[in-house]
Structure 1
Amino acid sequence: MGSDRGSNAKERARTSSTTGSTALPRASRVRLDQPRPARKRLLPEYDPEAFGRFSERIARFLGTGRFIVWMTLIIILWVLWNIYAPDALRFDQYPFIFLTLMLSLQASYAAPLILLAQNRQDDRDRITHEQDRKESERSIADTEFLTREIASLRMGLGEVATRDWIRSELQDLVKEMEERRSLFPPVISSERDEGDR
């Protein structure tokens, strides 16, 4: 058994050297019918949908009057605390540099979150518009089909004899028969009848 494997390997090596083939052995080939194994990532992984929903919630909250009221109250309390509190308890002196830093930090996080929420909304709108476009195309195709069907029915009905047309044709035939009867009255002969009996 072991000698068979060794001879097979020697045979493959000999045929590849004689044919000039540079094909890799089967074990080291990349399988195209199977997905690649997952790579190790240095960055932490996250669910983009969950993060997108979270950003939309934040963006919705940032666009409300409640956020403006809370932010205004916090800034007023911040300023009042740092003006009227004892010196030992003040954490941000008069130019309020720390307050400016906090507001800049809040703005630097709010802008990308709002943009992310807008991008998700744009994606939803694009999908909705695409579905609406397909639906309108289907309804246009259905309308055109029904229009063609109605036109063919009208053409077919134009060739069908209606009740009024049949009545008028019968009346014309009756008039024609009456005219013929008046022009050519029937001849009644009694002599013929007697001879036939």
Structure 2
Amino acid sequence: MIKTINEALDFYSGQEKKFSSFGASVLKKRAVPVEGLKQVASDLSLPKSYVDFVNRYSVEGVTLGFFDLCPGDSKSICNSLKMLNGEFQNPLLPNNLLNVAGFDADIIGVEKATSEHEGGSVYFVDITTAPDASVKFLANSFESFVVLASALDQIVLDEIGDPTNTIFELASEIGSSGQAENWRHIASMVD
């Protein structure tokens, strides 16, 4: 089962032919850093851990199961970030979070960086099941989030046990119990 970013890359490399037949891109290393990302990061207070991840791995057009890593503009991460956190920002998104990915119609937010705090923790922002947003902690960094999202994708695609229990066990092993319970909740929506 996927527990590291390299295992996620290997998994998607093996799935690439299948995914490309649907016109989808898979997670892979980026050849060159994203042009203009430094300015977008400064304008939005993106955390360094997120910026580093996006400069190392292509997210444009990439979907990990139900997680869309570039939901606003699938061709440009910079345009996507500016759109989702500017003119088209969801009013239910808490002020300390930036919309960086999506889960179906819900938001995956990353904590903004401040002068006192690096930020970078990742949250599931449920805007579809209640009148107010419900925010659930998912990971300490975007890379950790991608590893767990990839593992959930692998669990579902390869039919590895019950998704809700399997992702709970994995998230408990590599994260925290509170985080694991939130992953169980997400798995119940894809099961």
Q: TM-score of the superposition, structure 1-length normalised?
A: 0.15
Higher fraction of helix = 1
Q: Which has the larger radius of gyration?
A: 1
